[in-house]
Amino acid sequence: MAEKYNLQTIAFPAISTGIYSYPIKEAAEIAVRTVKSHLNGQNMPQKVYFACFNVETYQIYVSLLANNNL
């Protein structure tokens, strides 16, 4: 999508982890792994934001983003 619309920045919410109760850690792992995989060798987007709506979600994302094994 970033390439198609020439986006420099993109943001992703923790999809379905609220009202649909999808496990936050699992959703975050999928999101971080997918973004890291896509960005490997790509120029766009230049910035990716993960929208975290509470401290628990934020801490999970921080931990996963620091993990180079994903």
Each residue of 21-59: pLDDT tens digit?
999 999 999 999 999 998 887 888 989 999 999 999 999
Within 10 A of 30 (CB to CB), how many other CB atoms are there? Answer: 13
What is the 8-class DSSP label of residue 3? T
pLDDT at position 3, please? 79
pLDDT at position 59, please? 96
Q: Residue 25: CB partners within 8 Å, gap ≥ 6?
A: 60
What is the 8-class DSSP label of residue 44? -
Residue boundaries of the structural domains of the chain: 9-66
pLDDT at position 70, please? 62
Residue-averaged pLDDT of the chain? 90
The pLDDT of 3-9, averaged and rounded, is: 87
